Structure formats: C-alpha cells, structure tokens
C-alpha cells in the first residue's frame, strides 16, 4: 500500500509541473523580439536563454518524477516505493534543481530581467501577465521584479514542501520498523533524499542571498569599476564596508571578496587576484592577515581580532571553494575536510609585472604563490620551459625551447637546472645543427662536454673536452674535417693554447706549443715513413726556419729550410751520413703527448662531477643531474616534452636506486661477489660507475679512433687506460665509504700494494673491453712492420710438413710425438701432417678470443701444459721441459697456430698484465712467446735469403 505522503508528493509534483510549464511559457514570451545590439544586452539574452533551458530540464525531471508517482499509486503492489524517481535518482533530481538555481542567480546578479525588459516592447505591453503566476502576491511590482519573484518563489516553496514530505515519509517508515516490521528497502533512499534536499534548501537560501547582495553591490560602484566587475559568475562574499580592513603596503579604498576573486579598489584602479592563486598566512598579530599571490604580497589589518577572524575564515573558505571549481554544497565551508586550502595547487597564470617573467604564462604546480613542482612556462616570443620548478625558479630537470630570430628554428635545452640556471648534465640541440652533451654551471657549458654537429651537416664538427664559462678551456679534442686533422691538447678562451698534438688523415702528426690558435715555438713533425723533423714549420706543414730532419735510415739533415717561388723546398745545412743506422724498432715507436699532458690531468672534468657527488654523500636527488637521463634520439626528445617531464623516472625513484646501489655494494665485498658486482655496475649506464666508464669510453673513442688511430699515440692510450682503472677503483672506494658511513662504519685505509693488486687484477680486466678495439688497433699500427715479418715467416714455415718443421726447428727427435720413427718421411707426412701437437695449437689460438690479459696469460699457460703433457706421453713419464727444449716446440706451436698480429697481442699483454706476475711463470711464458715471435721474424728473413730451389714438394 502507498502512504498519504506519497499522495501529497503526487499533488506537489503536479502543481510544480504546472507552475514550471507556465514559467517556461512566460520566459519564452519574455524573449520575444529581443535583438539587443550592445554587448551587455547580448550577455543578458544568453543568460535568459540558459534560464529557459534549465527551467525546461527541471520541468522534464519533474514530469518523470510525477510519472513514477502515478505508477506507484495505480499499481502499489507491483511498483515499490524505492522505484520512485525522487528516491532512486535523487541526485539526478537534485542536479536539475541546482542548474536552475545557478541560471536564475546568474540572471539576478547582472539584472538580466531589468536590462532586457527595458528593450522589449512585447514585455512592456504585457507587464501584468506574470501576475497570473503569483497568486500569493497582491502587489503588481515593478518591471523586471515581477519575473524574478515568479521564478524564485515557486522553487523555494516547492523545495520546502519536498523536505517536509520526505521527513514525514521517513518518520512513517521508522514507525513501521518500531512496530516490528522488517527494515523497509526504501528507508536508506528516503534518508539520503532528505539529506540532499535539506542541503539544497540551505544552499538555495545562501545562493539567493549572495546573488541579491552582489546585485546590490553594483549600485555602490562607479560605472567603470562596475563594467569591469559585473559578470554573472561573481558572487559577493565579503565587503570591507561591512567589516572594515586596511591593506598594506598597497593603499586601497575598498576590498571585495568574491567567490572566485579577491578585488582591491583604489580609485579607478582595480587589482584582481584569482582565488586559486591566493594563499592565506595568519600573522602572530591577531589583527593582521598576510595574503600571498604570484606577484604581490600584502596584509589585511582589521580593527580588532574579530574582524581578522571573519576575513581569514571567509577568504580561506572562498579559496577552498575556488579550488574545487564549483559552488560549495550544501554550505560554504561546511565540509570540515576543506576548511584549509592546500599549499600545493595546479593553476594557470600570466605574469603582468615587468621582469624576467613579464607576460609569461605558467601552467602547472604552485606552492605558497610560487611555481613549485612540474609545470610549463611560456613567453610570448615562443620561448617556453617545461620541467621542474622550485620556489618560482627552474630547478631540476627541464626542457627549454628558445626560438631563433632569423629562422624558424629553435635551440632546445634538455638539462638540469638549479635556481633558474642550467646546472648539471644536459643535452642541448641548437638551431645551428649542433648538439651539446655535457655539464653546465650557471647556465653556461662548464666541465666536461661534447659539442657535435648533426650527421647530415655539410661541415662536420666535433669537440670533446673541457669547458669553462661557456668556452673551451683545458684539455680537449677537436676534429676539423675540413682540414682533415685532429687536435689533441690544451685550450684557453676557445682557442688552442698550450701544448698540443695534431694528427692528420695523411698520417702526418706534429706536436708543439700553441698560443692563440697558432704554434708559438719549435715543434716535432713525424711523417708516415717515420722521418722526424724538429724545428719550426707552417700550419700547412711546410718546413720553415731552423730545424733538423732525422731519416729512418739514421741520416740527419741539420740547417735552415725555406720555400721558393716554385713551391719547392730550399735547404741550407749539413747532411750527416756517418750516423749509424738506428734500431729498426725505435723509429716507429716515437710517441707523442706523453710528457706534454700528464695522464692525471687529462680528464679531470669527467671525474670531478662524480667526486663532488660522492663528497656530498651521494644524495639521490642529484643522481640524475650527474648521470643524465634516458634518451632515444635527440630529435625525438624535442617532440616528447611531456614524456620527459612527466613520465620519466621521478626523483624519488632516483633516491631509491641510489640507496639500493649503496646497500647492494655492502653485500658484495668478498672477492668473487665484488667482481660480479663491479661487472654489473660498470655495464649499467644508470649506475655512477657505469656512467663514468661510458663517458671515459667516449673520450677514448674521440681521441684514438678515426684520424686518431695513429701509432705515435699508442703510449698515451695505454697509460690512459691504466689510469682510468685506477680512477674507477678510487670511485668505487668513494662509494663504499659513503655506504659504510650511512651504516655508522668507516673504511679502512688501503696500502699501495693492495690497491695495485685490485686495479690490475680485478678492475682493469673488467674495463678493458670498453677500450680494446681502439687500443688493439694502435698496437697493430705500432708493430705493423714486425707483424709483417712475422706473417711472412708464418707463411714460409707453413710450407714445411710436421717432420721437416720439427727438424728445421732443431726439436730433439726423442720429443717428436711419433711412436715409430722408422717410418719414411712420406709415410709420416701422410699420417701426422697438421696434427702434431694439435691440442696445444687449438689452445693457443684461443688467445685472440678474450680481451682480458690475465685470461690470455692463462691460455698461454694451458698451451705450455698441453705441450708438456704431449711430451710426457711420448716419453712415457713426467717431464719438465727446460727452456732449450721448450722454445723450439713453442715455435712450432706458434707457427702452426698462425695467430695474426701476434706482436700487437704480446705487447698489449705485456703493458696491461698484472705487475704481480712479473718474475713469475706467466712472465716467463710471455718472454718465451716473445722469443718465438722474434725467432719467426728472423726465420722469415733467413728463409727469404735461401736459394730459390727449395719448394714444398721437396720439403715433403
């Protein structure tokens, strides 16, 4: 059965539906023939049209509610109470009422009825017709007032009756429950609807009061101020004429608080502050209230503490409401959770004051009236910065685009910033088609960095080295592709200045002292054929002035050099032909740069950021500034600003990763675990050690690859690799010290012997693969002549069958691995050709499969073991080979292994081997291998001089 409240609700909905239908008709008639020409009139017409639309929607919702009530009363057994629209869709009904209230109050605020009715002849001729909608009013009312009352009073009374009937229905259901009936399914719906419409009733009263107060405000303002402030969205919340307040240091006559803005009036000047960007800061003085905005800070000084409390509460609640982006419901400030606005907000704002940010628009996070967090700052000239901000300044990772004035191109800076300036690691793409990857300080390139031209440019350029205040300064490498040369040396103020080495594509290289891009003193000039010139010469490598030439055959020419008109070379000097021929290996091993650039000072700009990071305790928030960030391609970064700034690793992730790395370091201090940890860390570019190694590898490639692959730079390269190993070990120790300090422990001092053992035995083998390609190339170039003779010797010895070769090498016959030496030569050849000592040969060939000097020496040791094992099997007993027996057998194995560039391999092993192996078995075996190598070279010369009658058939 249905209740009496349901019958009354039906009657209420029928009456309200009728009233709304008449209201809609009245509004439509009111809008007839309205074609205002002025802006204000068009705005009022738009608001009245919105009012008519919201009134229509409210009527439609009321009709739906009425239909559900009729269904309930006609079919009480099949249509349950909870099926009523007013209950199961109370939020939907409420929304229709809210939209109507908003439309209506918007019209009230700007006096839409009064403004439009003055221009409507249709309405003036029928000004009494709205009386039919107001049977409870006896007075006729003035033009414009009557429609206002007709549109507000029915809704107000309707909501009041809603609340009364819903309360009565709730009580009826409560009584049935108290009488023993089960809990009614609609009881919660009724209670929810009661709460909603009670709140709506309070909110509607508040909204109407604010609208009327705002409408009244306009009459107290001069026309200019009224034209600026009179908008339908404004709702007056507070007026300093009601609660007096004085503003300092700004001088204002009046303060107005709207629901979306704080307005200060001074004569004709209007200062408007968006409430979303207003922060309230109470003072210790109970009568003073501090207000923070993006460009202004001022204080409200009330006459007494009560006035200060009122203003503080009103402004605070208005800010909360503005940040929510909608009117408070049910009441302004009634939600306890929203009583205090957050310090951090996300709002857009355009700066108006002169200065660095003039006319710039910032959209992003704010804190205490300053850009703080992630955001984008855009200037009218096209410049913009997207990234992290701190207290109003660019701070953290960010991308800045700066347009070029002359062309439609941009300079794109993707870097870390500190207090408004670039600081830390960054990648910058310039509109000039150059890219810089490196470190900044105070907005300028500073520290280590690489300036490179894009691959498609017509004039390629590359500089790898150190910078100071935006200029090349210190040690650096420059490639000049136009001249086909590479400069390796010192810089000052963007010019070559100090000791330097130049390597050309033609293979010629020279060393000297430069001053302001020119060679200032005599230098050294080395030619491809190893001729050496010491003296003065021109930039085009023309000998000029006093000098001395030393030829590869030992002859010297000392005198004065000059060029003639026919571009020939004129020499006046002494040719010394009495000099003895030099050691053939000495001329090709002349090395440049060793004394000019101490290895300790070459790449300090690479180590320094890491050292500073460790010195500061490895803070996680600085990790990305040190290591850089993940990139795809440089051009892609310009298109993915949003990705870089909002999707990349958060600084907190960096903190966590650094903490994890330090903790993991403490768990891997035992030798085997330490080796695994270092291998993992060095291969990870997001680890400080891995980043350091990767950068050092780039410097190595920039110096010694391409044009720099010159044999006269081998000495610089090999000492550089060793020094990198020492620095990386020191870097590991620095990280370990920080990790221990965080645990309240200290790191024990390390003696020189222990350090060398770790550097050469542990770290050098791990990092050598990163430099191996360029380093081995230099060794091959340096020992090209010896390796050529060695290859010739291998080729000659390969013509010998095994027995002949063993005999040729004077291997004692009782050591030959043949069981029956009475076989003929042809029989032995067919049985054992290329099979003799095969296991040792295969073992030695593995020496080129690894880059680790220690593993190469272990392979050499295993090769020796295989030879000795074979001899022991032949002799039928354990036998230790003396040097006289070992050397010819080893020569045989080496000749059959046919390892290319064996000289380069031997010298690389010798230079990079662990010093602790010197004097031991490995040193002995390496020396033996060197002897084999030299012997094969000599055999090449000796066999080459033999009469031409010997051939492979006869050797067999």
The owner of tokens 């001089």 is 945
Q: Which residue has the higher pLDDT, 138 or 836?
A: 836
Tell whether the model's pLDDT for residue 723 goes beyond 90.
yes
- What are residue 461's DSSP bridge partners? 480
Percentage of the residues of the chain whose pLDDT score is greater than 90: 42
Nearest to 12 by CA among 78, 113, 93: 93
| Chain centre distance of CA 405 | 28
Tell whether the model's pLDDT for residue 829 goes beyond 70.
no
- Pairing relation of β-strands 384-390 and 444-453? unpaired
- If DSSP codes are grouped into helix, strand and coil, which group holds residue 676? helix
Backbone angles phi, psi at 285, to 5 degrees: -75, 120
pLDDT tens digits, 579-606: 666 665 554 568 898 888 899 999 999 9
Q: Which long-range contacts link 944-949 to residues 24+ away (Cβ below 8 Å)?
A: 944/792, 944/796
- What does the pLDDT average to over 171-186? 71
Tell whether the model's pLDDT for residue 9 goes beyond 90.
no
Is there a contact between 697 and 770 (Cβ–Cβ < 8 Å)?
yes
pLDDT (0 to 100) of residue 640? 41
Of 8-12, 22-26, 284-288, give the range with the top mean pLDDT. Answer: 8-12
The DSSP symbol for 336 reads G
pLDDT tens digits, 736-771: 999 999 999 999 998 888 898 899 989 999 999 999
pLDDT (0 to 100) of residue 552? 82
pLDDT (0 to 100) of residue 142? 44
Tell whether the model's pLDDT for residue 478 goes beyond 60.
yes
- What does the pLDDT average to over 11-23? 87
Backbone angles phi, psi at 272, to 5 degrees: -115, 135
Peptide linkage before 178 cis (omega within 30 of 0): no
Kindly give, in sequence order, each residue whose CB lies less than 8 Å from that of residue 500, ignoring residues fewer than 6 positions away: 487, 488, 489, 490, 511, 512, 513, 514, 596
Is there a contact between 914 and 760 (Cβ–Cβ < 8 Å)?
yes
pTM above 0.85, yes or no: no
Residue count of the chain:
956
pLDDT tens digits, 320-371: 888 887 665 555 445 545 578 889 999 999 999 988 899 999 999 999 999 9
Of 151-155, 631-635, 646-650, give the range with the top mean pLDDT. Answer: 151-155
Cα distance between residue 505 and residue 484, in whole Å:
5
Q: Which residue has the higher pLDDT, 801 or 702?
A: 702
Tell whether the model's pLDDT for residue 639 goes beyond 50.
no
pLDDT tens digits, 870-923: 888 888 888 888 888 889 999 999 999 999 999 999 999 999 998 888 888 999
């Amino acid at each position: 059965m249905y209740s009496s409240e349901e019958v009354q609700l039906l009657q209420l909905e029928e009456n309200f539906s009728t009233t709304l239908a008449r209201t809609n008709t009245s509004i439509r008639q009111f809008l007839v023939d309205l074609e205002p020409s002025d802006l204000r009139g068009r705005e009022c017409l738009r608001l009245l049209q919105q009012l008519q639309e919201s009134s229509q929607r409210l009527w439609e919702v009321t009709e739906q509610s009425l239909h559900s009530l009729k269904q309930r009363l006609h079919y009480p057994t099949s249509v349950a109470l909870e099926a009523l629209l007013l209950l199961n869709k109370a939020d939907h009904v409420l929304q229709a009422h809210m939209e109507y209230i908003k439309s209506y109050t918007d019209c009230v605020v700007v006096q839409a009825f009064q403004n439009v009715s003055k221009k409507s002849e249709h309405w003036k001729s029928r000004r009494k017709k709205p009386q039919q909608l107001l049977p409870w009013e006896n007075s006729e009312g003035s033009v414009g007032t009557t429609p206002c009352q007709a549109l507000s009073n029915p809704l107000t009374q309707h909501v009041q009756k809603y609340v009364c009937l819903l309360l009565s229905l709730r009580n009826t259901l409560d009584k049935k429950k108290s009488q023993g009936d089960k809990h009614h399914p609609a009881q919660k719906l009724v209670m929810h609807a009661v709460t909603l419409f009670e709140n709506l009733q309070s909110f509607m009263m508040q909204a109407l009061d604010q609208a009327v107060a705002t409408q009244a405000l306009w009459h107290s303002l001069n026309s200019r101020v009224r034209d600026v402030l009179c908008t339908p969205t404004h709702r007056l919340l507070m007026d300093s004429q009601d609660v007096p307040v004085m503003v300092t240091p700004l001088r204002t006559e009046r303060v107005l608080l709207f629901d979306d803005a704080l307005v200060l009036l001074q004569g004709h000047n209007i200062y408007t502050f968006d409430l979303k960007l207003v922060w309230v800061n109470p003072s210790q003085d109970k009568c003073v209230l501090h207000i923070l905005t993006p460009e202004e800070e001022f204080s409200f000084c009330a006459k007494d503490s009560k006035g200060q409390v009122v203003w503080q509460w009103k402004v605070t609640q208005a800010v909360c409401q503005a940040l929510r982006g909608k009117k408070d419901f049910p009441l302004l400030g009634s939600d306890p959770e929203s009583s205090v606005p957050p310090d951090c907000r996300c709002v857009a704002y355009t700066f108006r004051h002169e200065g660095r940010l003039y006319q710039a628009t910032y959209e992003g996070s704010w804190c205490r009236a300053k850009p703080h967090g992630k955001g984008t700052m855009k200037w009218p000239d096209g410049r913009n910065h997207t990234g992290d901000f701190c207290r109003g300044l660019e701070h953290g990772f960010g991308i800045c685009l700066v347009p070029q004035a002359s062309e439609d191109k941009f300079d794109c800076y993707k870097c870390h910033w500190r207090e408004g300036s670039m600081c830390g690691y960054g990648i910058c793409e310039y509109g000039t088609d150059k890219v810089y990857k490196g470190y900044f300080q105070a907005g300028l390139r500073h520290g280590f960095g690489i300036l490179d031209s894009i691959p498609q440019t017509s004039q390629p350029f590359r500089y790898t080295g150190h910078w100071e205040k935006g200029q090349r300064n210190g040690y650096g490498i420059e490639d000049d592709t136009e001249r086909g040369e590479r400069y390796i040396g010192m810089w000052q103020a963007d010019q070559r200045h100090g000791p330097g080495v130049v390597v050309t594509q033609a293979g010629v290289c020279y060393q000297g002292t430069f001053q302001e891009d020119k060679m200032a003193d005599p230098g050294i000039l080395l030619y491809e054929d190893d001729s050496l010139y010491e003296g003065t010469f021109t930039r085009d490598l023309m000998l000029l002035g006093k000098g001395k030439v030393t030829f590869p055959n030992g002859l010297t020419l000392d005198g004065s050099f000059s060029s003639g008109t026919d571009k020939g070379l004129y020499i006046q000097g002494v040719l010394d032909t009495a000099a003895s021929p030099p050691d053939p290996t000495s001329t090709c091993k002349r090395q440049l740069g060793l004394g000019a650039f101490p290895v300790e000072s070459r790449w300090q700009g690479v180590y320094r950021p890491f050292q500073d990071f460790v010195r500061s305790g490895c803070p996680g928030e600085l990790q990305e500034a040190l290591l850089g960030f993940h990139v795809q391609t440089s051009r892609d970064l310009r298109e993915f600003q949003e990705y870089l700034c909002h999707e990349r690793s958060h600084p907190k992730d960096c903190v966590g990763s650094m903490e994890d790395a330090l903790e993991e370091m403490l768990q891997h201090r035992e030798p085997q675990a330490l080796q695994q940890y270092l291998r993992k860390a060095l291969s990870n570019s997001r680890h400080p050690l891995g980043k350091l190694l990767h950068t050092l590898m780039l410097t190595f490639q920039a110096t010694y690859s391409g044009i720099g692959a010159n044999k006269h730079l081998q000495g610089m390269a090999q000492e550089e690799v060793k020094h990198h190993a020492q620095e990386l070990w020191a870097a590991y120790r620095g990280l370990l010290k920080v990790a221990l300090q965080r645990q309240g422990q200290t790191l024990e001092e390390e003696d020189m012997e222990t350090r060398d053992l770790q550097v050469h035995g542990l770290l050098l083998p791990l990092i050598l693969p990163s430099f191996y390609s360029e380093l081995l190339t230099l060794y091959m170039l340096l020992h090209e002549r010896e390796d050529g003779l060695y290859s010739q010797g291998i080729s000659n010895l390969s013509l010998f069958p095994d027995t002949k070769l063993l005999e040729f090498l004077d291997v004692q016959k009782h050591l030959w691995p043949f069981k029956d030496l009475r076989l003929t030569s042809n029989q032995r050849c067919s049985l054992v050709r290329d099979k003799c000592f095969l296991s040792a040969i295969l073992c030695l060939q593995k020496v080129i499969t690894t880059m680790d000097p220690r593993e190469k020496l272990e392979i050499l040791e295993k090769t020796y073991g295989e030879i000795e094992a074979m001899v022991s099997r032949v002799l039928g007993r354990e036998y230790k080979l003396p040097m006289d027996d070992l050397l010819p057998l080893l020569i045989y194995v080496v000749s059959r292994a046919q390892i290319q560039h064996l000289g380069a391999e031997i010298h690389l092993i010798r230079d990079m081997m662990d010093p602790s192996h010197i004097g031991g078995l490995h040193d002995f075996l390496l020396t033996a291998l060197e002897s084999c190598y030299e012997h094969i070279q000599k055999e090449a010369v000796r066999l080459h001089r033999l009469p031409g009658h010997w051939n492979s058939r006869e050797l067999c």
